[in-house]
Amino acid sequence: MKCLRCGAELKDSTVFCAECSRVAAVPLKTSPYLTKKIVLPTRKPSQSIKKSEVKKARKRRPWGWILCSLLLFLLCGALLLQTAFSTLQNRQAQQELDRLQSVEDECVRLTDQLRQTEDTVSSLEEELSKLGSSAYLELREDLNQVQSEKSALSEELTQARSRVEALEAQIEELREKTEFFDTHIVFMQEDGSNRFHSYDCEKFTRNGYWAYNKQQAVTMGYHPCPLCQ
């Protein structure tokens, strides 16, 4: 190949000319060392892109709104899960309270039965002192049977008290969780009132609602319900 600027003979892969020290392969419109005229490509008017069209194309990309909507959807889902979990915990706490009440009633019954058994033992011992040897053996057997029943009832009462203590500890833990949700979580519903309610508010119908942190609800423009807040 020849340099398009000075006409020196060069290799095909040469970039800079050794004679004129310029780029040998850059096209020129005219050169005495070319056999034909080189026409440089020009951009057509239809190929130019206006800055206003670029800005419009950028504005048409609602990625920010999509991300914000996705984050808000995830937050609402998390709050709904927390609300469902709180409701489940409240239901379990009520069931445990009912179970605790039944266990306490059973403890009272066993205590009364144990007291009656002790009274029966005392009366039998008094009668034993007044009777002869034959009657003594019969009463002794009855006394042994009553004492066995007393031991069984005492053991059952001890187990019942242990269950009561375990249930009380579990109820205390559930009460702490319930108090947390009652203190920090509020509910809004689609009734047009623009107010937030607590879970046990009579205005809260539990249909079509959102659950938020109380501070976040105030930030979003909701107002506290005068009945429950």
Query: What pLDDT tens digit does each residue of the chain (229 aa) get?
Result: 677 778 778 777 676 777 776 776 665 545 555 544 444 445 444 444 445 554 554 555 566 778 888 888 888 888 888 888 888 888 888 888 888 888 888 888 888 888 888 888 888 777 766 665 666 677 788 888 888 889 999 999 999 999 999 999 889 888 888 888 888 889 888 888 888 988 888 888 888 888 888 888 888 888 999 888 7
- Domain(s) labelled CATH 1.10.287.1490 in the chain stretch across 72-184
What is the per-residue DSSP string for the chain?
-B-TTT--B--TT--B-TTT-SBSSS--S--TT-SSPPPPP---GGG---HHHHHHHHHT--HHHHHHHHHHHHHHHHHHHHHHHHHHHHHHHHHHHHHHHHHHHHHHHHHHHHHHHHHHHHHHHHHHHHS-HHHHHHHHHHHHHHHHHHHHHHHHHHHHHHHHHHHHHHHHHHHHHHHHHHHHEEEEESSS--EEE-TT-TT---SSEEEEEHHHHHHTT-EE-TTT-
CB 86 within 8 A of CB 199: yes
The pair phi, psi for residue 73, each rounded to 5°, is -65, -40
Specify whether domain 72-184 bears CATH 1.10.287.1490. Answer: yes
Considering the entire predicted model, what is its pTM? Answer: 0.32
